[in-house]
C-alpha cells in the first residue's frame, strides 16, 4: 500500500473502515467507477468495452488496502447496475471485488519496493485476475451462445494491455505529487491523530 506504515497490516486496513474521511473518499471512488463504466465507455462489442471504470477500484486498493478496495469494487458494480437498471451478474461482481482486493494485496505486500513497479504490478495483477479471468468467465456465461471464449479473449487481452499502461501512468503521475500524497497520508492517519490528541 502506498500510504502509511501503520496500515500495512490486516488490522490497519480494517481500521480504515472506521475512518470517516476514508469512507467519503471510498464513496466518491464508487461513484466515479460507476459513471466511468456505465456512461463514459465505448467499444465495438458488448464484451469488449474500452473504459477506465476499474481505475477508482484499483486506487482504493492501492491507497487503503484490500478490504476497502474490495468494498469499493462491490459498491461500484452494484451502483452501476442500479444506474443502468439491470440485475448484477454475480460473476462480474466477484471480478470487480477481486480487482480491489488484488490491487490492495499486491501493493501491501510490496510496500517497500520501487513505487512505480508496485503500481504497475498492482494494476496488472488486478486486471489479469479480475478482468481477464473472472470477468471474462462471467461474460462468457452471458454470451456463450454467440461468442467463444477465444473470441472474448482475443478482444479483451489487447484492450487490457493498453488499459494497464494508461492506468499505471495516471496513478504514477498522481503518486509523484507530494502535496497529493501528503493529503492522502493525513486522511489515513486522521483517526490515529484524533485519538492521540
In the prediction, which pLDDT does 69 show? 94
DSSP 85: T
Task: Give CA 77 to chain center in angstroms.
Answer: 11
Taking the alpha carbons at both ends of the chain, their separation in whole angstroms is 26
pTM for the model: 0.84
- How far is the C-alpha of 140 from the C-alpha of 151, rounded, in Å? 10
Output 189 or 93, whichever has higher pLDDT: 93
What is the maximum alpha-carbon separation in the chain?
A: 62
Q: Give me the half-sphere count of Cα atoms (radius 13 Å) on the Cβ side of residue 94.
A: 12
Answer yes or no: is pLDDT of 166 > 80. yes
pLDDT, mean over the chain: 84
Task: Give CA 61 to chain center in angstroms.
Answer: 6
Backbone angles phi, psi at 32, to 5 degrees: -60, -45
Pair 42, 99: CB distance under 8 Å: no
Sequence-distant (6+) residues with CB within 8 A of 92 are 77, 134, 135, 138, 139
42, β-bridge pairs: 50
- How far is the C-alpha of 97 from the C-alpha of 72, rounded, in Å? 7
Three-state SS string over 112-179 comes to CCCHHHHHHHHHHHHHHHHHHHHHHHHHHHHHCCCCCHHHHHHHHHHHHHHHHHHHHHHHHHHHCCHH
Answer yes or no: is pLDDT of 195 > 60. no
In the prediction, which pLDDT does 31 show? 94
What does the buried/exposed string (b/e) look like for 22-34 if buried means 16 or more CB atoms within 10 Å of the residue's CB? beebbeebbbbbb
Q: Over the stretch 69-78, which tens digit does the pLDDT of each residue have?
A: 999 999 999 9
Q: For residue 181, what is its C-alpha cell?
A: 500524497
Amino acid at each position: 500500500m502506498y500510504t502509511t506504515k501503520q496500515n500495512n497490516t490486516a488490522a490497519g486496513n480494517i481500521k480504515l473502515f472506521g475512518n470517516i474521511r476514508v469512507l467519503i473518499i471510498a464513496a466518491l471512488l464508487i461513484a466515479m467507477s460507476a459513471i466511468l463504466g456505465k456512461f463514459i465507455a465505448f467499444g465495438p462489442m458488448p464484451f469488449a468495452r474500452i473504459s477506465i471504470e476499474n481505475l477508482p477500484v484499483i486506487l482504493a486498493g492501492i491507497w487503503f488496502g484490500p478490504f476497502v478496495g474490495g468494498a469499493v469494487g462491490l459498491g461500484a458494480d452494484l451502483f452501476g447496475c442500479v444506474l443502468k437498471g439491470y440485475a448484477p451478474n454475480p460473476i462480474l461482481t466477484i471480478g470487480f471485488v477481486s480487482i480491489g482486493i488484488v490491487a490492495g494485496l499486491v501493493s501491501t505486500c510490496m510496500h517497500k519496493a520501487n513505487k512505480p513497479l508496485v503500481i504497475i504490478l498492482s494494476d496488472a495483477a488486478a486486471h489479469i485476475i479480475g478482468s481477464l479471468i473472472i470477468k471474462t468467465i462471467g461474460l462468457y456465461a452471458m454470451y456463450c451462445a454467440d461468442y467463444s471464449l477465444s473470441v472474448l479473449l482475443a478482444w479483451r487481452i489487447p484492450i487490457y494491455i493498453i488499459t494497464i499502461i494508461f492506468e499505471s501512468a495516471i496513478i504514477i503521475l498522481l503518486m509523484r505529487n507530494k502535496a497529493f500524497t501528503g493529503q492522502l497520508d493525513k486522511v489515513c492517519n486522521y483517526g490515529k491523530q484524533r485519538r492521540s490528541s
